[in-house]
Amino acid sequence: MSQWNRRQILAAAVGAPWIASASAPAGAGSPIRTVRAGSPVPLADNSGDTWVAAWADDGNLYSPSDDTEGFHKAGSANVAFNRIDGSDPLKLSGVTVNTMPDFGKGSARGPDGCTWKSSGCASIDGVLYWVVARHKYGEESGDASRRQPASNASIIKSTDFGKTWTRPAKQNYDAPMFPGSRFATPYFIEYGHDRTTADGADRYVYAISNNGFWDNGDDMVLGRVRRNRIGALNASDWKFFTGGDAARDASWSSKSADAKPVLDQRGKLGMTGAVYLHAQRRYLLAGWYYPAGGGKIKDACTKTVWDFYEAAHPWGPWTRIGSQEFSPQGYYSPEICPKFQTAGRVYVFTAGNWNNPDVYRLTVVPLDLA
């Protein structure tokens, strides 16, 4: 039985109406014109932020959470890893798989004055990949806007649905894969379970990163690695888009410093990622920012703006197609879920103001597309 057939059978057991066709044609479809956010739905008995939905081969979603107690008060953690269960995106539940103790308890600093935080997470060919990096809280960072800078990112991987991980915290601290801030918040571009050939997704894994801030970053660059090499966890396998014709090898550099932004909106690009929409054959990204400045400016955390961008390719051009304001919840770090897609609706994982436990938790927001 082929790998795809196994996935089809499993998908049918967990909610086949949400699966896009494996035979959907590749290439650029018609642009998405508008996005409208629906009512947020918080999940019960959890806390934390920076949730990202990775759709694994067992049919479940898996997500990290930061500054968290996970689900059911699993334990204080800088970063934890969770399984999200359910076939209805508005009636999900969860359990914490791993509190990642070697990455420290919540807010625990290292000798560099930073804490472990995470960005992208994806399931690729049966393996979970997750990005961790060093962050310094905005009130301590020295940034003029009290933004939270990120640096020294690494990718870790799990072959047992998050129970154990390769590259322990010490290795990531001592020898980060991506030193510095240029590729410090990468999010894998999500394609879900479909084996599309769009933009070479059958051969490459793409990731998009801002210029090294959790909140209110300035621009985005694009990296990629051959799909059969991502598991080596070797930064030298990665290339970064420098502009021009993305089909040409000359448009990709082994140095992240050579990367040219694919999206540039100063102060309006907190860390986030993009998803491929199979029905539309387009990419959708939810940018976000605090209008007051960095999230640790007084009362800034009560108001965010999400800007929605769409593109025909991961390298753009990206076009803003709408915005949504959230106040007083201040929902942030929105990440579009690769599962539960229909032609007219997708769902976002997010969390809100950390001072309010009612919204500082995994929250699902439906997005209606037209």
4 assigned to some structural domain: no
For residue 280, give every residue at least 6 positions away whose Cβ sits within 8 Å of its Cβ, in sequence order, or none: 29, 30, 32, 343, 369
pLDDT at 20: 31
Has residue 139 been placed in a domain?
Answer: yes
Structure tokens at 263: 């999206």
Whether 14 is in a domain gets the answer no
Which pLDDT score, from 0 to 100, does residue 132 have? Answer: 98
- Domain that residue 64 falls in: 36-369
15 found inside a domain: no
Assigned domain for 259 exists: yes
Predicted TM-score (pTM) of this structure: 0.92
DSSP string, 329-340: S--EEEEE-SSS
Give the pLDDT score at 3: 33
Residue partners of 251: CB distance under 8 A and separation at least 6: 241, 242, 243, 244, 245
**Number of domain units in the chain:** 1
Q: How confident is the model at residue 194 (pLDDT cuts 50, 70, 90)?
A: confident
Query: 317 preceded by cis ω (within 30°)?
Result: yes
Mean pLDDT within 153-176: 98
What CATH number has the domain bearing residue 167?
A: 2.115.10.20
- Is 205 a domain residue? yes
Q: What confidence tens digit (pLDDT) does each residue in 24-79 have?
A: 345 578 999 999 999 999 999 999 999 999 999 999 999 999 999 999 999 999 99
- Token output for 1: 């039985």
The answer to whether residue 20 is domain-embedded is no
Q: Which residues contact 5 (CB under 8 A, 6 or more apart)?
A: none
Q: Report d(CA 292, CA 282) in Å as an integer.
A: 32
19 in a structural domain? no
Residue range 268-284: average pLDDT?
97
